[in-house]
């Protein structure tokens, strides 16, 4: 695989010796080049590189040990011969504990089940005869005790149950260590804001020592324990706070946490000795030479605490290249020897090695070592090799799902098929660090980061896509529209061009005529990827161009603490802010329709889908009568202070019982005000989400009808904008927030996406690798916004899709081809979508009436009563309807694998097995599949 040209290693070594890793200047690297070309996500032919869906290659150093799942913690046995690795959640081939023989780098114990659905921490007893692991089963936090054989193989001995948290729900145990007396275990109780002491003789939790908010890691130094508090100090009266799983977090206006602390515990009397202020969202620590080193994930620093005084005596700024913005997410530290500190850079897929000569000397960055995707833990073996646990490993390269339709075999990939790894890396030499630094720069596109962010030039004429941020653009308004949960193949497998797979298509052109027309009119993007794995991470990537270390780990352990599937947790918000914060920072204007809102409430009875659909018919002039809820009586709420003032309150949040047609009418009214008053904001962000569907729940439309509703809403929005005075200087950007609810033959993160504007090239198929990070960068480039963090700073804008020869032809929406009010359980609703008889030719297409009948077909004429299997899946969907609608609704709170199954059956037929299954499954049978534990979001 062709890669970016090499810089002189001699030059690099010289630069490193001067204490900098500046590899070039803007004059040397003036031509910005995106290294990702048209490569597909996954392993690259003829190379050791793997392309991730977050604009990074990974080329991990050392020997790799791969296995299914997301490793969260790793510990080397006291004898140095083996290492234990724990998997965050028990799905897609990863379950419990893996034991690695360090002499051979092979697994000698694989997927030792702990009977836990969520897992986190590991600790060996000093003699190595027992291994302890933390995790949860349902709402119960647990510690699993294992015996260890002489060869390192483990056997479960017993399990200790922990009480519920003081705030209710799962206590969420995380890191764990053996107490200094050898008779107790110290376990971080994350949702209880305490450090637990467990008596091993009785298996009882004997003490809960209060610490700070959301503690995560614990380390010993003699009889003193240090505990990192991701959520910082306890809130005081007058503090601005944002909630996180029952705890008020001291926060910034952007919603992100404002403090980080380490609690110092005197274990002789189990009391809090001191609270030390460190950086934001501190994670793992190490002790060396009387100093405690703390990795601060949300401020890109390492705090050095003198254990004699328990004061911070040094703060190491993690800056992998000169003047780098924040975004490295340092999350673990380890002293390689007495003068070199290794820091795990989770977001950079690298270790940074610093020459450290005490707190009075400025540490020197000696170089970087590439790891696999998202390293989270570091240890060392007896031969001084660095061992690194890579939580996301090599991406969605786990178990494939094979399908044969009409004799044609295809392979489907899910975003949850994660392949984790650990790296066994020899102690690095200077040569290793030189070579490794070059690799990390290439993998992250940092060679281009400097020239790509040059200062704007004066007297430049406007173009569609400026070469530099701050230079003028013809485009003054951007509409950023976020949808839900579909893969590329689910919608566009039937395109007949591009990299498409018809066998995996579930919502083809009959269901989504507007998506297809847009993809045929504007660029078809067949190599576009979503960076998040589900809504809790997806919405963060879409709006932040990053994801916090906290939320990434929450995703990897199935969201025990919270599920911010559209806001809802202070700790999920990056210190670098959201896109709308960036707009406001640069004195631009922005309005929000639904994105990152968490509730939609008012005084009246909320009613059901039919009530809101009737309101749409009234608002659109298709029906007479009074609205069941007058506009403005119900208001959307958000927990993010900076978002609330710019949110248009009458626009609903996630709720499958409110059709997207209603959302369109609310947007239309406000947009027409903007046109009348000539005051359209620079950025309009919007969430239209009914392509999520409600499965086959009663009193909801079928999955096909809900996706058709979403399709029609987008078509109408584009139509409205394109027939307005703002069309001439607007860009519409459309993405899904994640692609977990389906399969794709390329990768589970591949999703449909659209760029729509007079300034966008028409009718092309673009196979360039793009992600939502490129989308964010494109918006920033056009509106003159500096990047928020390292991810969008290194990302290329989607320049090649723009043209300076505009075509102002407006878009005319396509009417729905299936009735939007085709309800689950009605005759014919279990059949694959068929088109409505087309309306006669008109000057502008009109939506089909609410009661438009489906075209008569033999399938409909021969429709049989609902089968027992259909009833079972209808009952399952109905049982979960509170996740789809109402005050507890949140995207993806229902189990993704289960929802995928029922949507497959509803769109393909209840006699068609889901890809990878040998037969059609009942809900109970599908629930037994390992992947049905993901995402299993928090109910706390």
Whether 413 and 555 map to the same domain: the answer is: no
Whether 595 and 698 map to the same domain: the answer is: yes
pLDDT greater than 80 at residue 441: yes
- pLDDT one-digit tens code per residue, 868-917: 999 999 999 999 998 899 888 888 778 888 999 999 999 999 999 998 89
Using a pLDDT cut of 90, give the percent of the chain over it. 80
What CATH number has the domain bearing residue 888? Answer: 3.40.720.10
Quick count: other Cβ atoms within 10 Å of Cβ 181? 9
In a domain, 435, yes or no: yes
Residue 828, both tokens = 């014919």
Give the pLDDT score at 863: 53
Whether 302 and 413 map to the same domain: the answer is: yes
DSSP secondary structure, 525-594, as one string: ESSEE-S-SSHHHHHHHHHHSS--HHHHHHHHTT-SS---TTS--GGGS-TT--HHHHHHHTT--EEEES
Give Rg (Cα) of the chain: 27
What is the pLDDT averaged over residues 578-584? 98
User: How far is it, in rounded angstroms, from Cα 708 to Cα 507?
Assistant: 8
User: How far is it, in rounded angstroms, from Cα 148 to Cα 129?
Assistant: 5
The total of structural domains in the chain comes to 2
Q: Are 220 and 204 in contact (CB under 8 A)?
A: no
In a domain, 789, yes or no: yes
Give the pLDDT score at 933: 66
Indicate the burial class of 268 (C-beta count within 10 angstroms; 0-12, 13-18, 19 or more).
exposed
C-alpha distances in Å from residue 413, one per residue of 44, 71, 176, 490, 928: 17, 20, 35, 12, 20
Residue 553 has, within 13 A of its CA and on its CB side, a CA count of: 27
**pLDDT grade for 396, boundaries at 50, 70 and 90:** confident
Give the pLDDT score at 95: 87
User: How far is it, in rounded angstroms, from Cα 203 to Cα 143?
Assistant: 9
Residue 319, both tokens = 């800056």
Long-range CB contact pairs, 834-838, < 8 A, 24+: 834/510, 834/859, 834/860, 835/510
Residue 634, both tokens = 């119900």
Q: Are 920 and 912 in contact (CB under 8 A)?
A: yes
- pLDDT one-digit tens code per residue, 17-55: 433 433 333 322 233 456 799 999 999 988 889 999 999
pLDDT greater than 60 at residue 853: no
Whether 848 and 909 map to the same domain: the answer is: yes
Whether 684 and 771 map to the same domain: the answer is: yes
Whether 815 and 726 map to the same domain: the answer is: yes
User: How far is it, in rounded angstroms, from Cα 537 to Cα 533?
Assistant: 6
Residue 114, both tokens = 């702990």
Quick count: other Cβ atoms within 10 Å of Cβ 882? 15
Nearest C-alpha neighbor of 782 from the set 732, 718, 724 = 732
Nearest C-alpha neighbor of 372 from the set 302, 321, 419 = 419
DSSP secondary structure, 906-938, as one string: HHH-TTSPPTT-SS---HHHHHTSGGGGSS---
pLDDT greater than 70 at residue 850: no
Whether 522 and 388 map to the same domain: the answer is: no
Q: What is the DSSP letter of 242?
A: E
- pLDDT one-digit tens code per residue, 490-537: 999 999 999 999 999 999 999 999 999 999 999 999 999 999 888 889
pLDDT greater than 90 at residue 572: yes
What is the pLDDT averaged over residues 792-797? 96
Give the pLDDT score at 287: 97
User: How far is it, in rounded angstroms, from Cα 373 to Cα 540?
Assistant: 18
Q: What is the sign, positive or negative, of the torsion defined by CA atoms of 276, 282, 287, 292?
A: negative
Q: What is the DSSP letter of 428?
A: P
Whether 337 and 443 map to the same domain: the answer is: yes
Q: What is the sign, positive or negative, of the torsion defined by CA atoms of 166, 170, 172, 178?
A: positive
At which residue do the structure tokens 């799962």 appear?
Answer: 170
Helix 535-544 with 772-783: angle, nearest 10 deg: 30
- pLDDT one-digit tens code per residue, 757-770: 999 999 999 999 99
Whether 436 and 530 map to the same domain: the answer is: no
Residue 471, both tokens = 């230079």
**Parent domain of 412:** 1-61+286-310+323-395+405-447
Indicate the burial class of 101 (C-beta count within 10 angstroms; 0-12, 13-18, 19 or more).
middle
Whether 432 and 557 map to the same domain: the answer is: no
User: How far is it, in rounded angstroms, from Cα 540 to Cα 576?
Assistant: 12
Q: Are 698 and 491 in contact (CB under 8 A)?
A: no
In a domain, 167, yes or no: no
Give the pLDDT score at 337: 85
User: How far is it, in rounded angstroms, from Cα 337 to Cα 355?
Assistant: 10
- pLDDT one-digit tens code per residue, 274-291: 999 999 999 999 999 999
Give the pLDDT score at 940: 81
Long-range CB contact pairs, 220-224, < 8 A, 24+: 220/177, 220/179, 220/180, 220/186, 220/287, 221/287, 221/292, 221/307, 222/180, 223/180, 223/266, 223/267, 223/268, 224/264, 224/265, 224/266, 224/267, 224/273, 224/307
- The more confidently predicted of residues 533 and 919 is 919
Give the pLDDT score at 892: 78
Whether 487 and 420 map to the same domain: the answer is: no
In a domain, 186, yes or no: no
Residue 520, both tokens = 């045929």
What is the pLDDT averaged over residues 82-88? 96
- pLDDT one-digit tens code per residue, 343-360: 999 999 999 999 999 999
Number of H helices, E strands in the chain: 18, 46
Assign 705 to helix, strand or coil.
Answer: helix
C-alpha distances in Å from residue 742, one per residue of 176, 694, 748: 37, 14, 8
Whether 425 and 557 map to the same domain: the answer is: no
In a domain, 890, yes or no: yes
User: How far is it, in rounded angstroms, from Cα 712 to Cα 494?
Assistant: 19
Give the pLDDT score at 827: 72
Long-range CB contact pairs, 669-676, < 8 A, 24+: 669/619, 669/631, 670/591, 670/593, 671/720, 671/721, 671/724, 674/726, 675/724, 675/725, 675/726
Q: Rounded mean pLDDT of the chain? A: 90
In a domain, 764, yes or no: yes
pLDDT greater than 60 at residue 427: yes
Q: What is the DSSP letter of 799?
A: G
In a domain, 195, yes or no: no
Give the pLDDT score at 658: 97
In a domain, 598, yes or no: yes
Residue 448 β-bridge partners? none
């Amino acid at each position: 695989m062709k890669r970016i040209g090499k810089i002189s290693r001699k030059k690099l070594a010289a630069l490193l010796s001067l204490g900098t890793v500046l590899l070039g200047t803007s004059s040397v690297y003036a031509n910005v080049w995106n290294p990702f070309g048209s490569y597909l996500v996954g392993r690259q032919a003829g190379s050791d590189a793997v392309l991730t869906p977050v604009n990074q290659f990974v080329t991990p150093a050392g020997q790799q040990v791969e296995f299914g799942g997301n490793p969260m913690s790793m510990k080397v046995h006291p004898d140095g011969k083996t290492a234990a690795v724990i998997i965050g959640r028990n799905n897609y081939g990863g379950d419990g504990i893996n034991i690695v023989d360090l002499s051979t780098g092979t697994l000698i114990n694989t997927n030792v089940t702990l009977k836990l659905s969520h897992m986190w921490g590991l600790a060996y007893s000093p003699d190595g005869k027992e291994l302890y692991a933390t995790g949860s089963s349902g709402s119960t936090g647990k510690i699993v005790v294992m015996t260890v054989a002489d060869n390192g193989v483990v056997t479960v001995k017993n399990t200790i149950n922990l009480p519920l948290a003081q705030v209710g729900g799962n206590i969420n145990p995380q890191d764990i260590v053996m107490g200094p007396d050898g008779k107790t275990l110290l376990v971080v109780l994350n949702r209880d804001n305490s450090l637990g002491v467990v008596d091993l003789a009785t298996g009882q939790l004997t003490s809960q020592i209060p610490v700070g908010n959301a503690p995560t890691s614990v380390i010993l130094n003699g009889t003193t324990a240090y505990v990192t508090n991701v959520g910082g100090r306890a809130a005081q009266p007058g503090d601005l706070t944002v909630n996180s799983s029952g705890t008020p977090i001291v926060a910034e206006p952007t919603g992100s946490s404002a403090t980080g602390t380490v609690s110092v515990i005197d274990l002789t009397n189990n009391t809090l000795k001191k609270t030390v202020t460190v950086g934001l969202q501190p994670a793992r620590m190490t002790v060396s030479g009387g100093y405690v080193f703390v990795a601060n994930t949300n401020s890109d620093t390492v705090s050095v605490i003198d254990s004699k005084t328990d004061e911070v005596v040094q703060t190491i700024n993690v800056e992998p290249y000169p003047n780098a913005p924040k975004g490295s997410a340092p999350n673990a530290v380890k002293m390689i020897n007495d003068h070199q500190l290794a820091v795990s850079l989770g977001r950079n897929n690298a270790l940074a090695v610093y020459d450290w000569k005490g707190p009075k000397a400025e540490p020197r960055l000696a170089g970087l070592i590439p790891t696999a995707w998202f390293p989270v833990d570091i240890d060392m073996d007896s031969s001084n090799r660095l061992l690194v646990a890579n939580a996301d490993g090599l991406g969605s390269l786990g178990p494939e799902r094979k399908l044969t339709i009409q004799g044609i075999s295809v392979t489907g990939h899910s975003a949850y098929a994660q392949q984790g790894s650990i790296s066994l890396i020899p102690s690095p030499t200077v040569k290793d660090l030189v070579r490794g630094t070059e690799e990390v720069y290439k993998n992250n596109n940092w060679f281009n980061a400097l020239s790509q962010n040059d200062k704007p030039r004066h007297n430049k004429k406007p173009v569609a896509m400026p070469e530099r941020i701050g230079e003028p653009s013809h485009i003054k308004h951007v509409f950023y529209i976020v949808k839900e949960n579909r893969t590329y193949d689910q919608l566009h497998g039937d395109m007949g061009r591009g990299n498409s797979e018809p066998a995996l298509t579930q919502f083809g052109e009959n269901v989504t005529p507007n998506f297809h027309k847009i993809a045929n009119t504007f660029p078809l993007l067949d190599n576009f990827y979503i960076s998040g794995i589900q809504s809790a991470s997806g919405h963060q990537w879409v709006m932040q161009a990053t994801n916090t270390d906290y939320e990434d780990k929450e995703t990897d352990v199935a969201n025990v603490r919270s599920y911010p599937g559209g806001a809802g947790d202070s700790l999920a918000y990056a210190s670098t802010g959201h896109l709308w914060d960036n707009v406001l920072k640069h004195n631009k204007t922005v309005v929000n329709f639904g994105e990152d809102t968490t509730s939609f409430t008012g005084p009246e009875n909320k009613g059901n889908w039919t009530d809101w659909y009737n309101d749409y018919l009234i608002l659109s002039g298709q029906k007479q009568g009074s609205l069941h809820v007058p506009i403005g009586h119900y208001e959307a709420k958000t927990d993010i202070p900076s978002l609330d003032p710019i949110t248009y309150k009458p626009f609903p949040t996630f709720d499958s019982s409110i059709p997207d047609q209603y959302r369109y009418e609310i947007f239309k009214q406000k947009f027409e005000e903007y046109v009348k008053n000539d005051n359209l904001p620079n950025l309009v962000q919007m969430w239209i989400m009914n392509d999520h569907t409600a499965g086959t729940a009663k009193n909801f439309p079928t999955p096909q009808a809900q996706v058709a509703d979403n399709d029609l809403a987008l078509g109408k929005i584009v139509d409205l904008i394109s027939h307005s005075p703002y069309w001439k200087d607007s860009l519409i950007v459309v993405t899904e927030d994640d692609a977990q609810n389906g399969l794709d033959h390329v990768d589970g993160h591949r999703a449909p996406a659209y760029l729509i504007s007079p300034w966008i090239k028409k009718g092309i198929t673009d196979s360039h690798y793009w992600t939502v990070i490129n989308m964010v960068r494109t918006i920033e480039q056009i509106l003159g916004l500096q990047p928020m963090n390292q991810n969008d700073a290194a990302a290329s804008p989607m320049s090649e899709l723009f043209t300076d020869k505009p075509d102002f032809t407006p878009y005319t929406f396509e009417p729905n081809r299936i009735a939007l009010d085709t309800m689950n359980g009605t005759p014919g609703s279990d059949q694959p979508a068929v088109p409505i008889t087309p309306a006669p030719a008109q000057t502008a297409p009109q939506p089909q009436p609410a009661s438009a009948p489906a075209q008569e077909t033999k399938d409909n004429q021969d429709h049989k009563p609902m089968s027992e299997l259909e009833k079972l899946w209808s009952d399952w969907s109905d049982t979960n309807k509170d996740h789809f609608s109402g005050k507890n609704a949140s995207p993806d709170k229902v189990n993704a694998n289960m929802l995928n199954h029922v949507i497959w059956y509803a769109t393909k037929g209840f006699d068609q097995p889901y890809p990878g299954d040998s037969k059609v499954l009942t809900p109970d049978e599908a629930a037994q599949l390992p992947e049905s534990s993901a995402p299993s979001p928090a109910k706390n």
